[in-house]
Structure formats: structure tokens, C-alpha cells
């Protein structure tokens, strides 16, 4: 099928319909050669013909010309007619000239307008068509104008199959706009194939429609494949560009450079992108205040920049711009919209604070502290309550002694001058202070340090006051030698009158004396001791004793001072060995270290001289030897392999001035590894050790007692059972390793079984006495019981009067079993080892 004019008759000349199609053929990326546009034979004025891609030939062309005045080329490559045109011939050509004046580059595009007719082939018979088979229809581009005014229904084009020359063909369409939303927008005449539109279409809602055309015979045969038919809606400039915000708010610092970016505005257009309908241009149409012009706007990007460096917040702090955006690249017939832009000028520190006066005069009483004496004010044009406005005051000169400080009042921005250290009228009657002021924020303009700071002079007059006595310095010292006799006098505390610089006429009084050492003279302030003072016994920190003295003048004014009494050391103490007991573990040590100390001052102390003090009855020098280690220590070692024990070794220690003291040193020579081992053993042996029972030791003792009672209960029960039920030897007695030996007093053989022990007694005797283990003696007879591993008992021998019996020979005799009774010795031999074991175990727990 192909578009054509309505056919007058089926047997007439072939129907022709000239359609608008665009096919751009570019044969090379670097050179533009030819573009062919298929157009109808008749074109109205200002009719869209087609579009040419200009950028493929020249990326940026600022001049576009057409060699044919009947055609106009826009920047996006759209080709429009300027006049009504009737193509008399099959083809018409013209040239598009592209030029870039900056690069001096030119390109040409040849445009060929071709009038195309499609001749329908004639077929003489339906059989030949059927033998030829079904053919694919070529897509036929079609377009319609957006928001068309009609009249409706509006004819768009005709679709026709070449088989309609010989046969009856019915046409139909389907797709969006027909049987899908928006329904009933298009329809086709069944017999003619004419395609119509029933109402206007908005391109912003529907950019195109893809329909499917069908051609069938009355009997339902389909000679053609379904034809995709694209109907494109041509855009109309019917949408105004819209700013993204109704009001834009920007800030820019004052005094900024020309070209500084203020902000950017943006607008959108719903029309077809990349066309003149959406090519927007921005501009400023009004500025309030109007003069001078300070801002400019980029026409394409919408960026607002400063066009002057005269922005001064102190003059005008806010500007209002009325901005415009227009499509069609800003041409007069384009659609436009306006918006408002408010620009706030941001403050910078371009104004220095200045004093309202250059000099000030004030006064203050001497000896006053933490008092406000003056307030100074400044002026600053910058924004109030910002770092550009807040002031920082400083004292430049006249405060070398640190008497003043100046601070800023955060509410009023005033400078407050205060006295923080008392002034003395007798020393200075007037002080001149220079103060300066700057802002918290740095000054924005280039300036020297002097021009960037305003200064003022303050004259401070000091008023004289009756001050009374002055205790200066507050802490004074006096020296007294230790061991001085009571009543010793020394210089005391001295105050003075600042008016006369003299101490006459002052009275002194002792306020505090913790230990009551001294008295203070009322007139002179000198001190007298109550008693003799020993530097080492008084236990004073730093060997300085402090008392408090009150000085008063004639008018009753007072001051308080501290007198430190220093006790000067005398060499009245000999060096002493503080550790009077040392331990030498003989297996691992051969000596011990002896350290001496002297409570006197170091000038009366080390180095010390160590020596052994000889005694009349013992040769100490033959048993011990002293070797000096350093100024305060010596090594004591034994000689001649002394036995273990405790020794008394007297040692004399002399200080550097020869004052000595003998210390009887107790030396413990032990068989130990550490000193603690030696001490524990000696304490246990002498009975002086301190024994403490812990909870585990008490528990072990209780368990031992319980075990002892269990053993006693078992022995008693076993003896009672044996007396009631006599037992005979078991059959395997011969294999038990029990040996009984009697050496005296032959008698009758008896067997006594108690607690699993079997005893064979030979010889005449009273009823047998059974021992658990160990020997037992009865009436001159001796029994020997030996227990061997495995629990076997062997009767080694049975001795009578000159006879030796074995267990076999004893079996034949009469066997008697007596009740077992235990003597005190046997009971003692049985229980004593076990009690010893329990005691040792308990002691071990206590030690651990």
C-alpha cells in the first residue's frame, strides 16, 4: 500500500498521493553531500518541510543561509517554506550554507526536493496475484499538526493496495487512537482507504500513534501483510516556559569582584525538546533599586553574576530583580514568563570600630582590687551583633605590672576597664594606659596594623588612702639552733608603715603557735623560746615551724604575716642501723647487707664508717667480716663455716664528724632458701610463732576426729562379733602371708581373728591379746605379726618349748578363738601415728 489521492475509478489512471517524508542521506562524516526530502507537489507558505541535522556537518554555526528564498532554515535544522510552492518538475534543489565566523569554517548541504508518485502495478488476474504471494507493505510516515483547528474529520492520507486495481479491497485499522485509548480518534474508509482524524490532539499527551493497517478481500482473503502506520504529532508552541520557583532568594557578599556568581535560575518547557519551541533565553527586565546596574544574567544558563564591585551593604542591603524567560530563542513571537529574584547583600568586615573619644580620664583609690573604673564606647557600621560588629579591646601600653584588664560588654559592645591588681599611691600617683580595639572577625580590606586598629589614651589617677601597716613580705623566716637553752631570743617578724617606710610605733601579737614554742615581743616582734628544741624529735615537715603574727598601727589598722622558724641542725645523733635483725640463708647466701641512717642533716651524716665492736669473751673478728658497699651500707659475711643459729654482732657506725653509735645486730644463720622460711621455722621451734587456724585447717581437724571415731567404732564392733561367733581358719590360710614368731614360754596354740588379721600364738599363756600391727608382749611371750602386700598372711613359725611348727602342723590341733582385748601400749601404738598424720595435714593447710 502507498498513500495516494482518492481514486476516481478503478480502471482509470494510477492514483497518486504525494506524501511528506524525511530521509537524510549523509555519505561521509566529514563532508556533507546530499539530503533528499520527499514532498507533495504543492506546499503552502510557512509549511514544515522536514529537518536536516546540521551538526553532522558543522558543530557550531552562527550563520545559516539558504540559496532558495522560498525556504527558511532554523538553527535546529527545521526547513520551512516562506511562500506557497508548486513543484512543476519532478525535483527541485537548493543549498544550505553553514558558516562559523570565529573559525572561518564553511560547510554546504545540498537539499533535493523530490516529488514522488507511486504507480500501482496492474494485474490481469487474481490467480497471478495469488501466485505472486503476499508482499510486505512499506511503512508510510504520516504526521498531523498539534491542536489542529480542523475542519473535522480531518483528512490525513490514503492507504491503498496495488491489488485494488483488479479486485475489491476493504481497508481497516487498529491500535492506539482507534480501539485503544484514546479511542475513536482515527478511522479509515473501508472502500477508499482514506484516513481521518476526528478531533484535536495534544502532543504533550500523545507524541505519536502506531497503527496497524489491514487490506482484505470481501471473502476474507488477505493479500497484504499488516502495515505498521506511524502517525507523528507535529509540535506546536503552545506551552509557556515555567520557572522552577516563583521567587528566588540569593545572597552575595558585599564588595565582591566583578563576575562573582550570585545564583542560577532555571525554567522548563513542555514542548518538544531540541526544537525552537524549547530553546529558552533568560534576561533581567527590571532591578530595584534601579541605579546603578549591578547584576547581569547569562541568556542560556540563567546564571546571575555581578557586573559591578560597588555592592555596599551599609548603603543598600537588598535588591529585587524581575527576570524573564522566553522560548523560540528569545524571538519576539516566543512565549515568555516572568519571576522575581531577591538578592541579599551579605555583610563583611569592611568598617573598623572607632572610639568615640581619643582620650579619657579616671581615678581609683589605692589598694582597690576588682573594681570597674571606666567604660569606653566605639562606633561600627557593620551588621549589629555579628563578629564584624563585636569589639575586642586590648591594652597596648601602661600595663606592664598587670594592674588593669579590659573586657567587652556583650550587650552594649562597650569596653570595661578594671583594676585587677592594687595600685600603690606611694609608688605611682598616675598611670597612663593606651587601649586599642578591633573586631572579632578579621578586617576584609588590605591595611596595615596601625590603620586597622583604633586607639585611645586613658589617664588613671591614684588616690592616696591611709593603709595602716604593711606586712611585706608576707612570709619571713628566723633561725634558731636546736638544743638551745630556753629563753633564747631571735629576730622575729617585721612590718612597716608605708607612709613613713618605718617599723616604729607598730605593735605585734602572736595569733597562732601550734606547739607553744615561742613568745613574741609586743614592741619589736622578736621571738623567745620557751624550751629547748630538738630538731629530730619535733617531727616538723621541712624542719620549719610556722607561727602567725598580727601587726597593728596607731589607728588600729592591722596586717597579718607568717614567721617561719628554722631549726638549725646540730650533730647530736649518731648513725643507727634501723633493721636490727638480719637473716642469712646459708645454702644460698654468704652475707647480708647492713644499712645505716642518721636523723641529722646530711652535712652531719654520711659517709659512714662501719666496724665490728670487740667484746671480751668472743672473737667477733674471727667469725664475721664487714665490707663497705657505699656511704650508707656495708656487707656482713660469716667466716669459718659457722653452724646454724642466732648470733649477736655489735656494729659501730660513725658519721663524717666521728660521732658513732653501736647497734647490737641480731644475725640468724639458717638452713633456708628465703628469709621468710627461716623466720617460720624458728618461730615453730621456740614456741613464739603465731599460729592461726584457717577454715580449711579446722575442717581437716574435724575430719580427722571423725575418722578416728570411725576406726574406734570399727574395732569395737569387730571385737564384739569375734567373741560371739568363733571362726576357724579358712581353707586358703596357707596362702596368706602371716608370720607369727614366739620365742619364749611355749604354750597352747590359739588363733585370734580381729579386723581381718589372724594371729597364731604358741605357748601356755592367758587368753591371747591381738595387736593390729607391730609387736605385742604378753607374760614373757613375744608375738610377731608381719603384713605383706596383697593382703596375704603367712604363719612363719610357731615356736614352743624347743619345737618349731608350721601352719600345716597347727591345723591338726584344736583351735580356739578368744575375745580380743587391747592393752594401753597397743592402743597407743595404733592411734599415735594416725593422729600425727592428721596434725601434719592440718598444719599444712594452715600454712598454705
pLDDT digits (tens, 9 = 90+) for 251-299: 999 999 999 999 999 999 999 999 999 999 999 999 999 888 999 999 9
Residues sharing a CB contact under 8 Å with residue 588, sequence separation 6 or more, in sequence order: 673
Q: How confident is the model at residue 301 (pLDDT cuts 50, 70, 90)?
A: very high
* Digit-coded pLDDT (tens) for 397-430: 999 999 999 999 999 999 999 999 999 888 889 9
Q: How confident is the model at residue 617 (pLDDT cuts 50, 70, 90)?
A: low
Higher-confidence position of 95 and 403: 403
Q: What is the pLDDT of residue 164?
A: 81
Average pLDDT value for residue range 10-23: 33
Could you tell me which of 350, 370, 359 has the C-alpha nearest to residue 435?
359
Distance between CA 844 and CA 699 in Å, rounded?
13
Omega prior to 695 cis, within 30 of 0: no
Residue 2 has pLDDT above 50, yes or no: no
480 in Cβ contact with 567 (< 8 Å) = yes
Average pLDDT value for residue range 226-240: 91
Distance between CA 675 and CA 669 in Å, rounded?
10
Average pLDDT value for residue range 159-183: 89
Distance between CA 439 and CA 347 in Å, rounded?
13
Helix, strand and coil percent figures for the chain, each rounded to 5: 10, 40, 50
Average pLDDT value for residue range 604-630: 83
The DSSP code sequence of 423-440 is: --TTT-SEEEEEEEEEES
Q: Among the ranges 79-88, 467-476, 706-715, which has the highest mean pLDDT value?
A: 706-715
Residues sharing a CB contact under 8 Å with residue 321, sequence separation 6 or more, in sequence order: 284, 286, 287, 288, 295, 304, 340, 341, 342, 343
The DSSP code sequence of 792-835 is: ------EE-SS-EE-HHHHHTS----PPP---HHHHHHHHHHHH
Residue 830 has pLDDT above 50, yes or no: yes
CA separation (Å) from 297 to 257, 276, 283, 544, 782?
Answer: 16, 21, 6, 86, 138
* Digit-coded pLDDT (tens) for 357-392: 999 999 999 888 999 999 999 999 999 999 999 999
Q: What is the pLDDT of residue 541?
A: 74
Question: Which pTM was predicted?
Answer: 0.44
In terms of C-beta density within 10 A (0-12 exposed, 13-18 middle, 19 or more buried), how is residue 104 classed?
exposed
Q: What is the pLDDT of residue 806?
A: 35
Residue 489 has pLDDT above 70, yes or no: yes
Domains and CATH numbers, the chain: 35-115 (2.60.40.60), 142-232 (2.60.40.60), 242-346 (2.60.40.60), 354-463 (2.60.40.60), 475-568 (2.60.40.60), 576-670 (2.60.40.60)
Q: Among the ranges 46-50, 369-373, 751-755, which has the highest mean pLDDT value?
A: 369-373
The H or E element containing residue 723 is helix 695-724
Higher-confidence position of 193 and 845: 193
Distance between CA 525 and CA 491 in Å, rounded?
8
Residue 182 has pLDDT above 50, yes or no: yes
Strands (DSSP E) contained in 368-485 are 371-376, 378-379, 391-397, 404-408, 415-419, 430-439, 454-463, 475-481
Q: What is the pLDDT of residue 76?
A: 77
Residues 551-588: b if buried by 16+ CB within 10 A, e if exposed = bbbeeeebbebbbebbbebbbebbbebeeeebbbbbee
- Residues above pLDDT 90, as percent of the chain: 32
| Of 30-39, 423-432, 544-553, 636-645, minimum mean pLDDT range | 30-39
Q: What is the pLDDT of residue 416?
A: 96
Q: How confident is the model at residue 247 (pLDDT cuts 50, 70, 90)?
A: very high
β-strands 475-481, 71-73 pairing = unpaired
Q: How confident is the model at residue 661 (pLDDT cuts 50, 70, 90)?
A: confident
Dihedral (C-alpha) 309, 310, 314, 317: value to the nearest 10 degrees? -70
Average pLDDT value for residue range 244-252: 95
Helices 695-724, 824-847: inter-axial angle, 10-degree rounding: 160
Q: What is the pLDDT of residue 121?
A: 36
Residues found in the chain: 848
Average pLDDT of the chain, as a whole number:
76
Residue 766 has pLDDT above 90, yes or no: no
801 in Cβ contact with 746 (< 8 Å) = yes
Q: What is the pLDDT of residue 353?
A: 93
Distance between CA 196 and CA 185 in Å, rounded?
8
Q: How confident is the model at residue 779 (pLDDT cuts 50, 70, 90)?
A: very low
Q: What is the pLDDT of residue 776?
A: 38
Residue 732 has pLDDT above 50, yes or no: no
Residue 816 has pLDDT above 50, yes or no: no
631 in Cβ contact with 609 (< 8 Å) = no
What is the SS3 assignment for 345? strand
Average pLDDT value for residue range 775-789: 36
Q: What is the pLDDT of residue 449?
A: 45
Q: What is the pLDDT of residue 21?
A: 34
* Digit-coded pLDDT (tens) for 603-616: 888 998 998 887 66
Residue 473 has pLDDT above 50, yes or no: yes
Average pLDDT value for residue range 300-305: 96
Q: What is the pLDDT of residue 250?
A: 97
Q: What is the pLDDT of residue 89?
A: 67
Residue 218 has pLDDT above 70, yes or no: yes
Distance between CA 629 and CA 101 in Å, rounded?
106
Q: Which residues pair with 112 in a beta bridge?
A: 36, 93
**Three cell numbers written together for 804:** 618349731
Handedness of CA 158, 159, 165, 167 (dihedral sign): negative
Amino acid at each position: 500500500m502507498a498513500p495516494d489521492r482518492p481514486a476516481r475509478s478503478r480502471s482509470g489512471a494510477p492514483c497518486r498521493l504525494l506524501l511528506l517524508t524525511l530521509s537524510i542521506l549523509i555519505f561521509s562524516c566529514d563532508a556533507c553531500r546530499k539530503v533528499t526530502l520527499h514532498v507533495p507537489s504543492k506546499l503552502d507558505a510557512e509549511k514544515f518541510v522536514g529537518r536536516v541535522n546540521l551538526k553532522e556537518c558543522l558543530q557550531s554555526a552562527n550563520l545559516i543561509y539558504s540559496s532558495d528564498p522560498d525556504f527558511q532554515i532554523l538553527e535546529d535544522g527545521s526547513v520551512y517554506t516562506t511562500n506557497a510552492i508548486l513543484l512543476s518538475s519532478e525535483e527541485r534543489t537548493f543549498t544550505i550554507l553553514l558558516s562559523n565566523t570565529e573559525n572561518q569554517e564553511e560547510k554546504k548541504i545540498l537539499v533535493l526536493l523530490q516529488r514522488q508518485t507511486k504507480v500501482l502495478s496492474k494485474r490481469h488476474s487474481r490467480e497471478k496475484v495469488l501466485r505472486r504471494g503476499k508482499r510486505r507493505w512499506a511503512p508510510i510516515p504520516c504526521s498531523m499538526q498539534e491542536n489542529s483547528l480542523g475542519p473535522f474529520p480531518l483528512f490525513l492520507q490514503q492507504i491503498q493496495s496495488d491489488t485494488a486495481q483488479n479486485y475489491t479491497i476493504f481497508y481497516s485499522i487498529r491500535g492506539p487512537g482507534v480501539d485503544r485509548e484514546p479511542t475513536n480518534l482515527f478511522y479509515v474508509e473501508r472502500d477508499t482507504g482514506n484516513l481521518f482524524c476526528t478531533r484535536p490532539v495534544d502532543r504533550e499527551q500523545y507524541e505519536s500513534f502506531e497503527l496497524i493497517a489491514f487490506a482484505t478481500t470481501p471473502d476474507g482473503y488477505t493479500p497484504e501483510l499488516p502495515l505498521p502506520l506511524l502517525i507523528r504529532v507535529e509540535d506546536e508552541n503552545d506551552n509557556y516556559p515555567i520557572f522552577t520557583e516563583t521567587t528566588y532568594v540569593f545572597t552575595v557578599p558585599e564588595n565582591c569582584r566583578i563576575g562573582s556568581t550570585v545564583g542560577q535560575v532555571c525554567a522548563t518547557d513542555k514542548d518538544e525538546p531540541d526544537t525552537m519551541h524549547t530553546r529558552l533565553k533568560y534576561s533581567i527586565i527590571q532591578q530595584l533599586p534601579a541605579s546603578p546596574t549591578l547584576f547581569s544574567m547569562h541568556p542560556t544558563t540563567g546564571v546571575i553574576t555581578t557586573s559591578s564591585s560597588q555592592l555596599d551593604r551599609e548603603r543598600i542591603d537588598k535588591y529585587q530583580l524581575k527576570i524573564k524567560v522566553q522560548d523560540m530563542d528569545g524571538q519576539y513571537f516566543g512565549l515568555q514568563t516572568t519571576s522575581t529574584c531577591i538578592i541579599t547583600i551579605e555583610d563583611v568586615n569592611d568598617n573598623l570600630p572607632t572610639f568615640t573619644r581619643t582620650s579619657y580620664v579616671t581615678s581609683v583609690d589605692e589598694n582597690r582590687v576588682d573594681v570597674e573604673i571606666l567604660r569606653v564606647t566605639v562606633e561600627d557600621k557593620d551588621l549589629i551583633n555579628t563578629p564584624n560588629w563585636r569589639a575586642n579591646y586590648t591594652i597596648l601600653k601602661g600595663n606592664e605590672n598587670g594592674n588593669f584588664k579590659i573586657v567587652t560588654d556583650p550587650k552594649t559592645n562597650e569596653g570595661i576597664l578594671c583594676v585587677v591588681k592594687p595600685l600603690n599611691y606611694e609608688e605611682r600617683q598616675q598611670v597612663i594606659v593606651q587601649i586599642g580595639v578591633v573586631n572579632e572577625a578579621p578586617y576584609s580590606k588590605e591595611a596595615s596594623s596601625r590603620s586597622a586598629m583604633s586607639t585611645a589614651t586613658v589617664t588613671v589617677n591614684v588616690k592616696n588612702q591611709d593603709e595602716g601597716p604593711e606586712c611585706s613580705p608576707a612570709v619571713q623566716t628566723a633561725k634558731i639552733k636546736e638544743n638551745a637553752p630556753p629563753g633564747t631570743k631571735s629576730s622575729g617578724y617585721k612590718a612597716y608603715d608605708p607612709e613613713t617606710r618605718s617599723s616604729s610605733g607598730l605593735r605585734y601579737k602572736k595569733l597562732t603557735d601550734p606547739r607553744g614554742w615561742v613568745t613574741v615581743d609586743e614592741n619589736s616582734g622578736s621571738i623567745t623560746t620557751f624550751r629547748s628544741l630538738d630538731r629530730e624529735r619535733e617531727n616538723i615537715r621541712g624542719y620549719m615551724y610556722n607561727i602567725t603574727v598580727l601587726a597593728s598601727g596607731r589607728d588600729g589598722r592591722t596586717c597579718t604575716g607568717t614567721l617561719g622558724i628554722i631549726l638549725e641542725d646540730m650533730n647530736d645523733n649518731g648513725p643507727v642501723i634501723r633493721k636490727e635483725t638480719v637473716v642469712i640463708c646459708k645454702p644460698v647466701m654468704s652475707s647480708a647487707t647492713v644499712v645505716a641512717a642518721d636523723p641529722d642533716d646530711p652535712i652531719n651524716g654520711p659517709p659512714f664508717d662501719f666496724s665490728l665492736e670487740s667484746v671480751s669473751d668472743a672473737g667477733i673478728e674471727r667469725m664475721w667480716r664487714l665490707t663497705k658497699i657505699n656511704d650508707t651500707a656495708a656487707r656482713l659475711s660469716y667466716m669459718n663455716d659457722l653452724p646454724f643459729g642466732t648470733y649477736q654482732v655489735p656494729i659501730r657506725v660513725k658519721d663524717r664528724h666521728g660521732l658513732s653509735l653501736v647497734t647490737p645486730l641480731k644475725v640468724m644463720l639458717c638452713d633456708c632458701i628465703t628469709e621468710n622460711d627461716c623466720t617460720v621455722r624458728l618461730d615453730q621451734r621456740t614456741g613464739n610463732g603465731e599460729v592461726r587456724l584457717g577454715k580449711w585447717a579446722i575442717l581437716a581437724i574435724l575430719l580427722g576426729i571423725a575418722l578416728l571415731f570411725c576406726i574406734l567404732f570399727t574395732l569395737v564392733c569387730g571385737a564384739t562379733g569375734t567373741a560371739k561367733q568363733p571362726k576357724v581358719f579358712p581353707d586358703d590360710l596357707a596362702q596368706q602371708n602371716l608370720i607369727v614368731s614366739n620365742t619364749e614360754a611355749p604354750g597352747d596354740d590359739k588363733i585370734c581373728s580381729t579386723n581381718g588379721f589372724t594371729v597364731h600364738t604358741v605357748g601356755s599363756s592367758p587368753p591371747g591379746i591381738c595387736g593390729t600391727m607391730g609387736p605385742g608382749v604378753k607374760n614373757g611371750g613375744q608375738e610377731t605379726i608381719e603384713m605383706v602386700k596383697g593382703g596375704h598372711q603367712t604363719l612363719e613359725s610357731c615356736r614352743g618349748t624347743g619345737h618349731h611348727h608350721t601352719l600345716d602342723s597347727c591345723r591338726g590341733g584344736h583351735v580356739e578363738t578368744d575375745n580380743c582385748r587391747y592393752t594401753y601400749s597397743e592402743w597407743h601404738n595404733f592411734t599415735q601415728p594416725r593422729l600425727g598424720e592428721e596434725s601434719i595435714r592440718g598444719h599444712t593447710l594452715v600454712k598454705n
